[in-house]
């Protein structure tokens, strides 16, 4: 066998990246904002006004069919606001168009801030429509006796692959001509914020609760092979609503996931379930009385800031909006426990395109209304290479 | 369609004694082989009162 040579730098990079990944999951908190004075605010405002003008001109040029001009505006903006050279934007010939990159990156940056999935899952830059992830295989270690060879083959478990296929997500908005003509920083912020949030929310809904019916992804709730634990300990416990959840169910969920893969796990619950857990009392004291708020000093993403708590089980809990989970019912997922950074993957294709519609957008006719529909398109995918490493707490069937 | 089963033997990383959701064909095969049982609770039998 050839010796594989790894330099110290390469090894350090891998270790550093792994540590950063781990920290992100363990202490997902936001960077504090720097102090802001009038000078920096004014400079920032002027720069934003300039950027807002660029975006408005760009959309107007596209609207009037002046593709060449739109492309020139995008390219001039890209030269002015130095952006990543390798951001892989489609060209006109590919059906897309050059896009002012600062705008796209801001939208993506907002999606990063608001997306729970982006904060929790392992982010995987995709090189094509489909990536095959190695999903299972046997890794064994052994002590080798003197003069003997090692036996590492586990005949029962060979490597298999999970295909991760990108699908299109879109976020859109209808804007009026006046808004574009009077482009202001506030308008730009509002549109960027809105598109970023819409993309992030769509991703989150698919990641947690996608039903697998085309064109939806299969999210964690619809995933086969997860480790399922029931509220009340059995499928006939009578605990068939979210309101009957107990912190002992959290213990059962944590312990239900194999300890080898659940070691760095975190809980994810919807807001309503968190409410029921917070209000639960043991004797006359609230169960959560003893918890301390999660430390706000490390790295992470805004989505989880202020939404993360330590639980009596010793593992962190992230609280997400109710809209990302199914509604309370019998035989329904009420909480997840997993090492998300290890066992859930979000693939991101870096092509982002912007489309513009003048006659009809979504279900709204725009003809003669002096409004335009703008749409941002991204391609992402989700994969769960080892479903059994994901614990799902479900309400009882009866 | 997914079927909820309680595993009698470990299957793909889920330990014995735990519940998991599996595609119907796989779940039925495991139940047939005695490696899993249906997690659905047995239906309640209404006892009929006889006599007075």
ipTM attached to this prediction: 0.76
Residue A256 forms contact with B (CB below 8 Å):
yes
Q: How far apart, in whole angstroms, are the C-alpha atoms of residue A126 and residue A129?
A: 7
Task: Report the residue of B3, B9, B13 to disrupt the A interface, i.e. the one with the largest count of A CBs within 10 Å.
Answer: B13
For helices A101-114 and A185-209, give the axis angle rounded to 10 degrees.
50
Q: Environment class of residue A285 by beta-carbon count within 10 Å: exposed (0-12), middle (13-18) or buried (19+)?
A: exposed
Residue A120 pLDDT > 70: yes
Mean pLDDT of all residues in A117-134: 89
Q: For residue A82, what pLDDT is reported?
A: 64
Q: For residue A41, what pLDDT is reported?
A: 75
Q: How far apart, in whole angstroms, are the C-alpha atoms of residue B22 and residue A309?
A: 32
Task: Report the residue of A219, A330, A387 to disrupt the B interface, i.e. the one with the largest count of B CBs within 10 Å.
Answer: A387
Residue A47 pLDDT > 70: yes
Mean pLDDT of all residues in A353-364: 81
The verdict on a CB contact (< 8 Å) between A225 and B21 is yes
Q: For residue A95, what pLDDT is reported?
A: 41
Count other Cβ atoms within 10 Å, centred on residue A253.
28
Place of tokens 């047939």: B32
pLDDT band at A336 (very low <50, low <70, confident <90, very high): very high
The verdict on a CB contact (< 8 Å) between B2 and A222 is yes
Interfacial B residues in 1-52 facing A (CB < 8 Å):
2, 4, 12-15, 18-23, 39-42
- The conformation of residue A293, written as its DSSP 8-state character, comes to B
Mean pLDDT of all residues in A117-121: 90
Set of chain B residues whose Cβ sits within 8 Å of the Cβ of A256: 15, 18
Count other Cβ atoms within 10 Å, centred on residue A364.
11
Closest-CA residue of A relative to B7 is: A227
Q: Closest CB to A235: pick one of B12, B14, B40.
A: B40
Q: Which of A34-43, A47-56, A316-325, A357-366 is the most confident on average?
A: A316-325
Torsion of CA A275, A294, A209, A362, to 10 degrees: 100
pLDDT, tens only, A75-89: 888 888 765 444 444
The verdict on a CB contact (< 8 Å) between B22 and A225 is yes
Strand partners, A132: A163
Q: For residue A230, what pLDDT is reported?
A: 95
Q: Environment class of residue A276 by beta-carbon count within 10 Å: exposed (0-12), middle (13-18) or buried (19+)?
A: middle
Mean pLDDT of all residues in A127-146: 79
Residue A331 pLDDT > 70: yes
Q: HSE, CB side, 13 Å, CA atoms: give it for residue A140.
A: 13
Please answer whether residues B52 and A290 qualify as being in contact, where contact means their C-beta atoms are separated by less than 8 angstroms: no
Residue A174 pLDDT > 70: yes
Please answer whether residues A231 and A249 qualify as being in contact, where contact means their C-beta atoms are separated by less than 8 angstroms: yes
Best CA proximity match to B32, nearest among B12, B3, A319: B3
Q: Closest CB to A227: pick one of B14, B39, B42.
A: B14
Least confident of A81-95, A199-213, A313-327: A81-95
Give alpha helix (H) positions in chain B: 24-32
The verdict on a CB contact (< 8 Å) between B4 and A228 is yes
Closest-CA residue of B relative to A393 is: B19
The verdict on a CB contact (< 8 Å) between B13 and A258 is yes
Residue A231 forms contact with B (CB below 8 Å):
no
Best CA proximity match to A22, nearest among A368, A316, A354: A316
The verdict on a CB contact (< 8 Å) between B14 and A223 is no
Q: What is the mean pLDDT of chain A?
A: 81
φ, ψ for residue A312 (rounded to 5)?
A: -60, -10
Q: Closest CB to B13: pick one of A229, A389, A398.
A: A389
CA dist A377 to A58, A100, A305, Å?
16, 14, 27
In this prediction the pTM is 0.78
pLDDT band at A211 (very low <50, low <70, confident <90, very high): very high
Mean pLDDT of all residues in A211-228: 93
Q: Environment class of residue A29 by beta-carbon count within 10 Å: exposed (0-12), middle (13-18) or buried (19+)?
A: buried
Helix and strand counts by DSSP (H, E) for chain A:
11, 16
Q: Closest CB to B21: pick one of A224, A256, A398.
A: A224
C-alpha R_g of chain A: 24
Please answer whether residues A103 and A110 qualify as being in contact, where contact means their C-beta atoms are separated by less than 8 angstroms: no
φ, ψ for residue A282 (rounded to 5)?
A: -115, 120
Structure tokens at A213: 């019916």
Q: How far is B43 from chain A (nearest CA, A)?
A: 10
Closest-CA residue of A relative to B43 is: A398
Q: For residue A85, what pLDDT is reported?
A: 42
Residue B43 pLDDT > 80: no
The helix (run of H) or strand (run of E) holding residue A344 is: none
Residue A269 pLDDT > 90: yes
Mean pLDDT of all residues in B20-40: 91
What phi-psi label fits residue B32: left (phi over 0), alpha (psi between -120 and 50 degrees) or beta?
alpha
Please answer whether residues A226 and A390 qualify as being in contact, where contact means their C-beta atoms are separated by less than 8 angstroms: yes
Mean pLDDT of all residues in A96-110: 75
Q: For residue A231, what pLDDT is reported?
A: 95
The verdict on a CB contact (< 8 Å) between A228 and B19 is yes
Q: For residue A324, what pLDDT is reported?
A: 95
Q: Is A323 helix (H, G, I), strand (E, B) or coil?
A: helix
């Amino acid at each position: 066998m050839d010796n594989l040579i790894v330099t110290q730098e390469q090894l350090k990079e891998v270790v550093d990246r792994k540590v950063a990944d781990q920290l992100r999951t363990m202490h997902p908190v936001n960077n504090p904002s720097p102090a802001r004075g009038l000078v920096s605010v004014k400079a920032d405002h002027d720069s934003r006004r300039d950027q807002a003008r660029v975006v408005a001109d760009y959309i107007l040029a596209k609207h009037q069919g002046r593709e060449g001009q739109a492309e020139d505006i995008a390219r001039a903006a890209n030269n002015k606001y130095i952006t990543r050279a390798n951001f892989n934007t489609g060209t006109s010939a590919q059906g897309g168009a050059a896009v002012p990159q600062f705008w796209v990156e801001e939208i993506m940056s907002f999606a990063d801030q608001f997306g729970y999935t982006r904060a929790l899952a392992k982010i995987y830059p995709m090189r094509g429509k489909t990536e095959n992830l190695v999903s299972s295989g046997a890794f064994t270690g052994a002590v080798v006796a003197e003069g003997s060879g090692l036996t590492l083959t586990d005949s029962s478990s060979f490597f298999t692959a999970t295909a991760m296929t990108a699908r299109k997500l879109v976020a859109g908005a209808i804007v009026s001509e006046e808004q574009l003509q009077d482009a202001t920083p506030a308008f730009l912020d509002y549109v960027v914020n809105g598109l970023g949030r819409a993309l992030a929310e769509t991703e989150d809904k698919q990641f947690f609760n996608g039903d697998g019916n085309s064109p939806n992804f299969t999210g964690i709730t619809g995933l086969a092979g997860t480790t399922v634990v029931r509220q009340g300990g059995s499928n006939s416990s009578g605990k068939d609503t979210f309101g009957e959840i107990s912190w002992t169910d959290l213990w059962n969920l944590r312990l239900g996931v194999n300890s080898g893969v659940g070691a760095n796990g975190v809980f994810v619950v919807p807001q309503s379930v968190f409410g029921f857990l917070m209000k639960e009392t043991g004797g006359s004291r609230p169960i959560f009385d003893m918890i301390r708020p999660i430390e706000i000093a490390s790295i992470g993403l805004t989505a989880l800031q202020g939404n993360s708590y330590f639980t009596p089980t010793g593992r962190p809990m992230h609280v997400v909006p109710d809209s990302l989970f199914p509604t309370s019912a019998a035989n329904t997922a009420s909480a997840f426990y997993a090492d998300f950074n290890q066992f859930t993957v979000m693939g991101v294709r870096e092509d982002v395109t912007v489309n513009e519609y003048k006659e009809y957008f979504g279900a709204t006719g725009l003809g003669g209304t002096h409004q335009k529909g703008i749409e941002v398109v991204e391609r992402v995918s989700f994969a769960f290479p080892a479903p059994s490493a994901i614990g799902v707490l479900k309400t009882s069937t009866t | 369609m997914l079927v909820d089963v309680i595993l009698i033997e470990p299957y793909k990383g889920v330990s014995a004694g735990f519940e998991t959701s599996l595609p119907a064909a796989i779940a039925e095969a495991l139940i047939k082989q005695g490696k899993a049982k249906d997690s659905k609770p047995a239906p309640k039998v209404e006892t009929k009162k006889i006599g007075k």
